[in-house]
Amino acid sequence: MPEPPAPPPSPGTPFQESIPRQALGLAAWIGLWLLLEARFRHLGLNDRQQLAAFLAILATAGALAALAARAWLFRLLTSVRFAVTQGLFLLGSALLGALPRPGPAPFRSLWGCALLALLAVSMLAVSWKRRPYTLARLGFLLVHGAPSLVLLGVLWGRFDGVRASARLTPGVTVERLAGGGPEVLLPGFGLRLEAPARPPDPRLYAFIPAGADPAGAAGVREVPPGAPTALPGGFQAEQLELIPDAVETGQVMENPSALGEPALRVVLGLGLPSPLVGHLFARGGERSRQDAPGGRFAVVFREAWDPALLASLRPAPARAETLELTAQGRTLRHSAQPGEPWQLPGCTLQVTRAYPDFAVRPGPGGEPEAFSRSDSPREPWLELELAAGAGPPRKLLLSARQPALTDRLNAPHLPAGTRLRYLREGEEGQRRFVVFTRADRQVRLLEDGRLVRTEPLVLRRPFIVEPGLSVTADAILEHTEPVFAANPGPGPGHPVLRVRAGDPRNGSAEACWLEPGTRERPAAPRMLLGGRLGLVYRDRPAGPGERPPDLVLVDSQGRELARGPLAAGQPLEYAGLTFHPDPDAPWGEGVRVVREPGLGLMAAGFACLLAGCAWMFYLKPVLKRREGRP
Amino acid sequence: MNAVPAPAALLGAAGFAGFSQALLGAAGFAGFTLGAWLGAWSLWAAPDRAARLERAALQAIRAGFLLLGLALTAGAAASWRAAGRLWPGDPRSAWILIAWLVWFTVLHVHRVKAFKGRTATIAGLAGWVFSLLAFLALGRLG
């Protein structure tokens, strides 16, 4: 048992009796922690490191203060006036938390924790002062012990908790989530959204980014078909043309009012009977590269030159070769090695032959015959047999480099909505690249990861890779828009919508195509009118009475681990994590992943507080009367 | 991604706990209102009646404080169930927390010997006016 504190000195010191002075002291205490928190962030400390530093500083400061002025400190902490001052500061924090502002909630910030810690210590000190304890004082003890429990819960949650969120696109597995700090990686599984089977019903939504609406009425509005819809802030938006089942023709058009990314039109194989004209997109991932016919070099278009390209644009072997099957929103993977049959429900897939450098020539009977021009993996293809039922096996051809061509070739042999791909992860077979850069208008020739030559980018002048081998930049399109046409073939519908947004006050207007999103390119909101208005084309979220989409947890092999509706009030729990719909995500497509280990302590703290209040207010007077006290 | 309001489906998903929060919050504030006005009456009453009115006002404030504490807990439970957050972040919950902290302070003012009586009663009235203003201001924010 520690020694009881020394009796307070008489008379009281001004600080302990003065609420304004105490308020100044508390302001300094909060200011100190604000500075320390900024410093911790500047040093790059993560949540746990910040918490360790917080506890170390708090313990040191407490120990030093107790050694230097134990009686003075005890008198301050047990002063009712100090409780009033702290109440006013907590009130200020609550007001701050109620205002829309960036940063964590006050009670999660270090300064909020420091304020709560001071309150908890004060309450414990007051409880100590009220010894000896009687039954009548149980309520008092519960109330004054409660902040310590809440504080412990908050600190534990900060130390070992998870609060992260992600936007979900149906069918796409997400393994990384955005948290308050670095990305959060889910432990060995991914999240996928499975929309219920219902006819596609995409809708157009408009929103005004925060701060751009002078009337302060920013929010999401649906833009129905028909006449232009008036939006908050004086804007208008309308649907122009809907192609319910569209195919992108691979062409782009220049449209000064479109916000599409810049593209480079190049001509490959000049002098050949059929030169290839293609568009490369500066920020288009796969779409920023085109391999020349014959595979002797590749052309890349980038926004700016980055020396890191020397490391990425060089030959590299494949880390793994896999087959990827996507059907009904599920993705399964299997080795792509010949002789390893893949048993699937109702069918078997088997790789029968691999072509590292695929080409076709006339066979002995005149029929086309596949062969490999070399052993170098320039154009790797696989030949597979799909055996289902009693019929003869069907032959499939998969190209690692041309996934879209693979889809078209195999569509007649696979069930609708099923896709089979050949993946060679991490592989780069090309050794020679011509890199066009938009910012500095240069062309660079790279060979085996070395910069060989640099020339200015001059339109319509061939860049000679080697004698007889060239690429010509034909045009740079600053504002591009894809060209769509109605899809004549079978398959799932792919709607695209042409929309226009305008500001009648200054007569400005912009038009663009919107897609609801695909696996390769999840749709992002399109910002128009200089970023003042956003438009997004999404499938309609589940309405009241409709089945919400399922949230599915899958392991790395695509096996389902857990499943539940992504709906408010129906959280899914797995591996100590709770999955909720994210209320901050528009269109209800976000998931919020939470682990709150301190929840029990915080709940216990609140329960003690309420039970203690009830005891103090209503039971204590009865008990006192029984004890014969006033 | 720019911040946009939550979908209506989530806003209306508070369920029974959210309904309880609204009900308890209203009952709690009714207690404060009664306490504040009984206190105001005591300022002009005769000394013996003023003491009785002050005691009644304190009882009403205590009941309101307890009910608002329950409302806060119900709000946290509803928010946790709906969206995995302990703090709902909506104007109603913010106002309940603010009112609760106001009356936490007022209840402690009642315990300071130098403030007992008239000063504590005036503090209670000021707290009531402040809670009301906060309610109106947060209503505008929401």
Residue in chain B nearest A593 by alpha carbon: B84
Confidence band for A217, pLDDT divided at 50, 70 and 90: very low
Measured CA to CA in angstroms, residue A294 lies from A122, A291, A298, B123 at distances of: 79, 8, 10, 87
CA distance A90 to A83: 10
pLDDT in tens, A358-367: 888 888 877 8
CA distance B43 to chain A (A): 23
| pLDDT surpasses 60 at A102 | no
| pLDDT surpasses 90 at A299 | yes
**CB atoms A98 and B98 under 8 Å:** yes
Q: Identify from B4, B93, B95, B133 which residue to disrupt to test chain A contact, counting A C-beta atoms within 10 A and taking the largest count.
A: B4
Take residue A516 and report the two structure tokens written for it.
């609801």
pLDDT in tens, A385-406: 988 777 788 889 998 877 777 8
| pLDDT surpasses 90 at A301 | yes
Take residue A367 and report the two structure tokens written for it.
């029929």
Residue in chain B nearest A82 by alpha carbon: B108
Write down the pLDDT at residue A291.
Answer: 81
Rank A48-57, A357-366, A568-577 by mean pLDDT and report only the highest. Answer: A48-57
| pLDDT surpasses 50 at B95 | yes
- Domain boundaries defined on chain B: 15-141
The share of chain A scoring above pLDDT 90, in percent, equals 17
**Cβ pair A77, A71 in contact under 8 A:** no
For residue A392, whether the previous peptide bond is cis, meaning omega lies within 30 degrees of 0, is no
**Cβ pair A54, A113 in contact under 8 A:** yes
ipTM: 0.82
| pLDDT surpasses 80 at A434 | yes
CA distance A239 to A257: 16
DSSP state string for A46-111: -HHHHHHHHHHHHHHHHHHHHHH-HHHHHHHHT-HHHHHHHHHHHHHHHHHHHS--SSS-GGGSHH
Q: Which residues of B touch A569 (CB under 8 A)?
A: 13, 15, 81-82
CA distance A562 to A574: 7
- Domain boundaries defined on chain A: 14-162+598-626, 168-194+544-594, 197-246+484-541, 261-316+429-478, 320-424
Question: What average pLDDT does the structure give for chain A?
Answer: 81
| pLDDT surpasses 60 at A279 | yes
Confidence band for B117, pLDDT divided at 50, 70 and 90: confident
Confidence band for A463, pLDDT divided at 50, 70 and 90: very high
The share of chain B scoring above pLDDT 90, in percent, equals 11
Q: Sheet of A202-207: strands edge to edge?
A: A220-222, A202-207, A533-539, A526-528
Write down the pLDDT at residue A528.
Answer: 83
Rank A83-92, A121-130, B12-21 by mean pLDDT and report only the highest. Answer: A121-130
Helices (H), A171-322: 309-312
**CB atoms B62 and A105 under 8 Å:** no
In terms of Cβ atoms closer than 10 Å to its own Cβ (0-12, 13-18, 19+), residue A553 is: buried
* Residue of A91, A567, A571 with shortest CB distance to B98: A91
Write down the pLDDT at residue A454.
Answer: 94
Write down the pLDDT at residue A367.
Answer: 80
Q: What is the amino acid identity at position A469?
A: L
| pLDDT surpasses 60 at A207 | yes
For residue A132, whether the previous peptide bond is cis, meaning omega lies within 30 degrees of 0, is yes
Residue of A576 and A9 predicted with greater confidence: A576
Lowest mean pLDDT among A51-60, A154-163, A535-544: A535-544
Take residue A57 and report the two structure tokens written for it.
């500083």
* Residue of B69, B82, B94 with shortest CB distance to A568: B82
Residue A115 dihedral angles phi and psi, to the nearest 5°? -65, -45
CA neighbor of B84 nearest in space, from A98, A410, A583, A66: A583
Confidence band for B1, pLDDT divided at 50, 70 and 90: very low
Residue in chain A nearest B63 by alpha carbon: A617
Question: How confident is the model over A191-211, as a mean pLDDT?
Answer: 74
Lowest mean pLDDT among A157-166, A583-592, A618-627: A583-592
DSSP state string for A416-435: TT-EEEEEEET-B---EEEE
Residue of A494 and A396 predicted with greater confidence: A396
Measured CA to CA in angstroms, residue A242 lies from A200, A246, A261, A486 at distances of: 13, 9, 22, 10
Confidence band for A630, pLDDT divided at 50, 70 and 90: low
